[in-house]
Structures are given as structure tokens and as C-alpha cells.
Amino acid sequence: MTKPPLTLYLAAPRGFCAGVDRAIKIVEMALEKWGAPVYVRHEIVHNKFVVDGLRDKGAVFVEELSECPDDRPVIFSAHGVPKSVPSAAQARNMIYVDATCPLVSKVHIEAQRHAEAGLQIIMIGHAGHPETVGTMGQLPDGDVLLVETPNDVAGVAVRDETRLAYVTQTTLSVDDTADIVAALQARFPAIIGPHKEDICYATTNRQEAVKAMAPKCDAMLVVGAPNSSNSKRLVEVGARAGCAYAQLVQRADDIDWRALEGIGSIGITAGASAPEVLINEVIDAFKARYDVTTELVETAQENVEFKVPRVLRQPA
């Protein structure tokens, strides 16, 4: 039986970013240096396949520092943690390694500087997301106010309208964030923004590739986890950019083949914490069912690399 033809558009860049790469490497190097178990506070990155793989090597994932013993190393996830967490680890004389993405750390430092200059911070982010919790936790309660939508801006109660700055979660939709920034600037003309965009290069690049790919596709799949902010944003960006069917899948088993009946083209991309092995698994699933012609949709090239902390580069 002949397979139906299918054009498969593959977004580039896609998948792992430098911050995720570094965080995974930190856990692997910690296990090599100190042996198992090594504790990790929160999923190191939001991807079940990655987390399960590290668990098999001896990483123990917990949600709170209180679940960790004093005598084993603990790693803080790529999303960042409130200041109270390393302080508590120090108080217990624990060995800890901070795997916070350097681009998230940049936002932390920015918020700190603004606060030291006497400014109140408004954070654009998603309530409860570990990155938002970590950034807001750099400063005392009440010093950082959260807004999630342009409508939230109207209800924000600030101390002084002339002494404000804003920061953003690094994994947001570029377009949605622009709408919220416009609302903030309209209400608070004196508000100070970041020197350089807080939304990270990887988030922006993946969204740009999706925008270029979406109008060509009958359907689009984003390989990523349901708790991955940047992956969910890619689905929204794809739908908004003109793709009639955009869905998140964790791996090939999640593909809804009935929903894809009759398509002539599919776009595939992946969130920043999805490994290439899962992307290839999805591509192979299409090749098993269709006569696939692959086209790369490349909008940027990435060559960013972040060093792992010095403690892991020194012998035990």
C-alpha cells in the first residue's frame, strides 16, 4: 500500500537551549563527582523524559529543601529559587549547586538593582511558575507585584507611580508580553524596563521559527511537557500565526492520528527542554505512516554556551 505524501516542516532552532543543556550537565557532573544520590529541588528542567533519565542515574527529585538530608549535595533547578532557599542550605552546611539559567539570574540581578535604587518592581509572569516564584523571592514580600495579562495592569496598587520598574519571566510569548508592557507604559509612563529584553534568546528564536512555519502547515506539533511554559507558548504562537491545528505532545505516543487525517503538511518544533531524541521519535512516527519530504524552516542559528559552576570543574 502506498503511503500518502506529507511535507514535514522542521523548525530551527528547536529543542534544548544553552540553559537547559547546562542544568542537565550539572546534575550529571554532580553524580560523577559525589556519587548517588544527589538531590534536586524541583524538576531540573520541565521534561519527564529528561527527569526520568536522571532519576535512573541516581538523582532524587524533591519539591522542598526540607526533604533533603544535610549530608548529600542538592542542586537548584534551572528555573531559579527564592533567596531563602540557598540561605537555608547554608544554614544547614549543605553542599549545593545552583543550576539557575544565567538568563534567569540576569533578571534576578536586575530586580535587585532596581530595588536598591528604591523602585518597586512589577513582574510579568505566570503565578505559581517556579521561575516567577524564584524571581519574586529575590526581594521581600510586597516589593514585587505580579501581572499576568493586560487587564491585570489596571488593578495593580503601587506605592509610587513614578518609582517603578518591570521585569519578565524569560519564557513568555513575545507578543503577549508586548501587550502587557504597552498597558504598563500607558498607565505608568515613568516605568523603567530592562536594559535588554528579559525574554530569553531561545524563547524568542523558537517563537520566530514557529511564526515562519505556521502559515505553511495544515497542522503543527510542539514536542514538550504540559508544565513547560515555553512549550505551551509555542502552541499558542502557532495557532495565532495561522496554523489551524496546533497541539502539544510529550512524545510520539501522544499524537492524535485521527485529528491529523487528510493533512498534506505538518510542522514540528520542540520546547527548550525537549531532547532531540523525542523530536526524532515523532518524525519517525510520521515516516512510518507517510511518504515524508522534510523541509527545514530556519530563522536563526544558536551558538550560545554557558559554563557549569566552578565547584563541578574541581576534583572531589
Show which residues are catalytic: 131
- What is the spatial distance between Cα 216 and Cα 211, in angstroms, rounded to a whole number? 10
- What is the spatial distance between Cα 316 and Cα 309, in angstroms, rounded to a whole number? 14
Residue 151 to residues 157, 179, 182, Cα–Cα distance (Å): 13, 10, 11
10 Å Cβ neighbour count for 117?
10
Contact 203, 230 (CB under 8 A): yes
Contact 43, 27 (CB under 8 A): no
